[in-house]
Structure 1
Amino acid sequence: MTQQQELKRDLKNRHVQLIAIGGTIGTGLFLGAGKAIQLAGPSIILAYLAVGIALFFVMRALGEMLLSNAGYQSFTDFAADYIGPWAGYVTGWTYWFCWIMTAMADIIAVGVYVQYWFNIPQWIPAAICLILLLGLNLLTVKLFGELEFWFALIKVITILALIIVGIVLMIIGFQTHTGTVSVKNLWQYGGLFPHGGTGFLLSFQMVVFAFVGVELVGVSAAETANPQKNIPSAINKIPLRILFFYVGALLVILSINPWNHLNASSSPFVTTFSLVGIPVAAGIINFVVLTSAASACNSGLFSTSRILYNLSRHQEAPPKLAKLNKNRVPSNALLLSTVVLSLGALLSKLIPDQAFGIVTTISAICFIWVWSIILISHICYLKKRPDLRKKSIFKAPLAPFINYLVLAFFIFILIIMAIADETRTALFLTPVWFVLLFILYSVRRKK
């Protein structure tokens, strides 16, 4: 393949680092945390910690395999190599589907957030945002990196400000209408598990959704200037980011606001800033959540276009989707993803009350499939290529034992989703997608 037919390695270290941060901070934290807190109380911190630790091991497996072969462009490549061609096909299309589902919710959210300032129909700002992101993504991959850099920076500054304000308030013993700001608020209102183990377990669906996108570091590997250095650096910093951005932020929020004073349908960040007497808090956080939704949609366009490009290169999608424009960006794949996204946005608008819950659950289930395939591929890699494992510069720790343990954890989460009323329907609908893919794959193989 000539240079003109290959993706351009134009993402620098700062881009990869911020893509990794952007992938682990999104609407699941800014919006979903409110609902999750109502379900689990202060134990939500333990839920975020558990899922975060599991995904760190997934990312270490992903990193080792990507660096084991310079020809690997994403996890679909090594899934096809170590599990079988069907795994690459099903996982590639599933990853495209779950990012489309996620981005659908986010592009509609953009329209809702803009209505906070301007009384205009939701579809207008949603369409403008989608067209703008498409135009910027068509130019260069470096622009995608720059967009994510600034989007992620806004999130980081917001959470940093929240943590600093919270620490200061705890030191001075600040009084709010709910009482004194103190870490004691974590256990003074029914303990760490106010709803028992049931509420804690039911929160896992939204917690899993909060982490979708963490594997974007792997998708961006083909366009990273120095993958041998940048990918390990980004992956190894994930635990610190989880501790700081999730655990740190939630500790502060729950120290300022007792968990039972937070509204499940609103952002706990807005409530917290308002409670400490910052009058422009709602507007500031609305802007942050708006950029977070735009960032998630931007990530969705990037990842779905690269997956389609990769599927096309392996003759698993129409050949035209592998075409690159003069900036070596997969323009046809980008356009197709944008068209499907816009149709999905219309569907989300027709059933706004149900769409977000259904979409986030289906997205979480599909991401669990992708993460599981990465772990299974790594197990196969360890068995089939001990030579590559021996000379690896980025060995996944505790493998293969930890792989089996995390897979069991994912199965446990799916069982919880089957029990919960809110997630059961989406869980039982999702297999239809996989059945369809296996049928299409069988037809393709016969041809």
Structure 2
Amino acid sequence: MATETPVTGQSLRHSLSIRQMTMIAIGGVIGAGLFVGSGSAIRTAGPGVLIAYGVVGAVVVLVMRMLAELAVAAPDSGSFSTYAGREIGHWAGLAIGWLYAYHWCVIIGFEAIAGAAIAHRLVPGVPSWLAALVFMCVLTGVNLVSVRSFGRFEFWFALIKVCAIVVFIALGLVAILGLFPGRAAPGLDNLTGQGGFLPHGLSAVMAAMLAVFLSFFGTEVITVAAGEAQRPAEAVRRSMRSVVWRILVFYIGSIFVVVTLLPWNSTEVTASPYTAVLKNLGIPGAGTVMDLIVLTAVLSCLNSGVYASSRMLYSMASRGEAPAIFARLNARTVPAAGVLISSAVGFVTVAANYFLPTEVIFQFLLNSSGAVAVVVYLCITVTQIRGRLRLRRTGAEDTLSVRMWGFPYLSGLVLVVLAAVILGMGNDTGKRESLVLTLIVTAIAVVAGLVLQRRKEIR
């Protein structure tokens, strides 16, 4: 499939159905960041991690509302990269597009390693590097076949993990109410004991927000997929309406179950909080079932990562902000070069995993990519503010069918919160290295964007 003759003069097909787009939106953020990364956040902040999830969740809801305002008005596979180029300058569109593609390439490796670790735990005879290699090959192939192939896989991946998280929360609530056979109600002991609700203070909650930001990243994929949807504006509008309850149910609801039923400083909670809860309830085979569900979620994020990165590269190449090869479509109207280059980072990570322990790779990827998500959200916020003010000046504000709530006050508040998160990372010695790495990558992308824009102006 990768060797098919590229087709020029074509555009992406509008093949994703409303049903597929809905499931992509609902399940797009449920991955290793929630099931595995939440353990690290709980260890850092204790029960106070609920504050971190609540604050970040509220910020993400507002950012997605801003992005919906932009995307419904002009659906595009380049999403916020296209809008940043229009409202801020070509340099901004190029910089944020490359940052986003880079981030997803890192996440692809992150998910491959996480999935391989689970597969090795389920079948110890299979080396983790081999499992990661198989996952990468299969999902790269899925994305090379067609966008419909991606949509079908993502639909079933999303359906499985959404059903699983709902069942998990239902079982947890039954146990919390003391209705689970053989289990007494835990009360508030785990929330207020073991050092209290904030055992390490509010500073620890700020530190936990980095991992939390990473777990939320992916909500915006629906606006990237809108470029290949059958009814893009309707699909984006529907999905963004559901973002509030998705965050309340999937994130805050499930984390509340974890920290209420188990001590936050338990080693089992740190390692795998969701599996630990089910094991604690004494459900036979629950650990294996949960591992399979987590594996599904991980593969879903890997699949989305390859898709999102390749489409962002396609959009940038179409605008002359990336090598032209990324804008060339094969006979199946798939940007094959983008799919392959996006997957390449995952394959490199698999090779590294052969020589290094899985935990080393996992933690490095987690720490090196989280701050990019904050930068992307900052760009979306600035883009929306500038775009809305432009429409207001030209008297075209009334043409928007979806608008940001409380503009400009809530948009400004989001800007302040995101800036505070970055400053907090600078004051945290444990996160400073990650921030420096992010700033270096961002600076390189911005300089490249400015140079390219200057060359276009000269021409």
* Common fold: TM-score over 0.5: yes
Q: Which residue of 2 aligns with 1:112?
A: 117
Of the three residues 205, 208, 211, the one matched with 2:216 is 211
> How many angstroms apart in 2 are the aligned matches of 1:338 and 1:82?
31
Kindly report which structure 2 residues correspond to 1:199-348, keeping only aligned pairs within 5 A, or say none: 199-261=204-266, 263=268, 265-348=270-353
Alpha-carbon offset, residue 99 of structure 1 = 0.5
**Aligned 1:37-186 pairs, distance under 5 A:** 37-69=42-74, 73-116=78-121, 117-172=123-178, 174=180, 180-183=185-188, 185-186=190-191
Q: Which residue matches 2:419? A: 411
For 2:107 and 2:248, locate their aligned partners in 1 and report how far apart those are by CA, in whole Å.
24
Give the aligned partner of residue 4 of structure 2: none
CA deviations 1:172-231 (Å, max 9, x no partner) are: 355889x74335532244332122212222211111111011111111110111122211
Q: Which amino acid aligns with 2:254?
A: A
Equivalent pair of 1:159/1:245 in contact (CA under 8 Å) = yes
Residue 362 (1) aligns with residue 368 (2): yes
Q: Which of 383, 405, 423 is the matching residue for 1:397?
A: 405
Q: Kindly tell me: are residues 393 and 446 of structure 1, through their superposed partners in 2, closer, same or farther at Cα, counting changes over 3 Å?
A: closer
TM-score between both structures, scaled by the size of structure 1: 0.93
Q: Tell me, which stretches of 5 or more residues in structure 2 are unaligned?
A: 1-6
Q: Within 2, Cα distance between the matches of 1:402 and 1:28? A: 27
The TM-score with structure 2 as length reference comes to 0.91
Counterpart of 2:429 (choices 421, 426, 429) is: 421
Answer yes or no: is the 8 Å Cα contact 2:105–2:343 preserved in 1. no
Q: 2:439 aligns with which of 410, 428, 431?
A: 431
SS in 2 for 1:286: helix
Shift in CA distance, 151/28, structure 1 to aligned 2, threshold 3 Å: same
Shift of 1:70: 5.2
SS where residue 24 of structure 1 aligns?
coil
User: What displacement does 1:235 show?
Assistant: 0.6
Deviates more, 1:184-193 or 1:426-435: 184-193
One-letter amino acid of the counterpart of residue 19, structure 1: I
SS in 1 for 2:265: helix
TM-align CA RMSD:
2.2
Matching residue's letter, 2:139 = L
Can you list the C-alpha shifts for 1:60-79, whole angstroms capped at 9, x where unaligned?
11111122235674111110
Change (3 A) 1:26 1:355: same
C-alpha distance in 1, partners of 2:77/2:260?
45
What letter matches 1:156 in structure 2? V
Unaligned stretches of 5+ residues in structure 1: none
- Count of residues in correspondence between the two structures: 445
Q: Percent identity?
A: 31
Assess if the C-alpha contact under 8 Å between 1:361 and 1:427 holds in 2.
no
**Per-residue deviation, 1:111:** 1.8
2:28 is paired with a residue of what secondary structure? helix
Q: For residue 45 of structure 1, report the CA deviation from its aligned partner.
A: 1.4
Distance 1:71 1:212 in 2: 19
**Are the structure 2 counterparts of residues 349 and 432 from structure 1 closer, same or farther at C-alpha, using a change threshold of 3 Å?**
farther
Q: Distance in 2 between matches of 1:132 and 1:350?
A: 23
- Counterpart residue type for residue 355 of structure 1: I
Aligned to 2:3: none
In structure 2, the CA distance between the partners of 1:183 and 1:156, relative to structure 1 (3 Å rule), is farther
Residue 446 (str. 1) matches residue 452 (str. 2): no
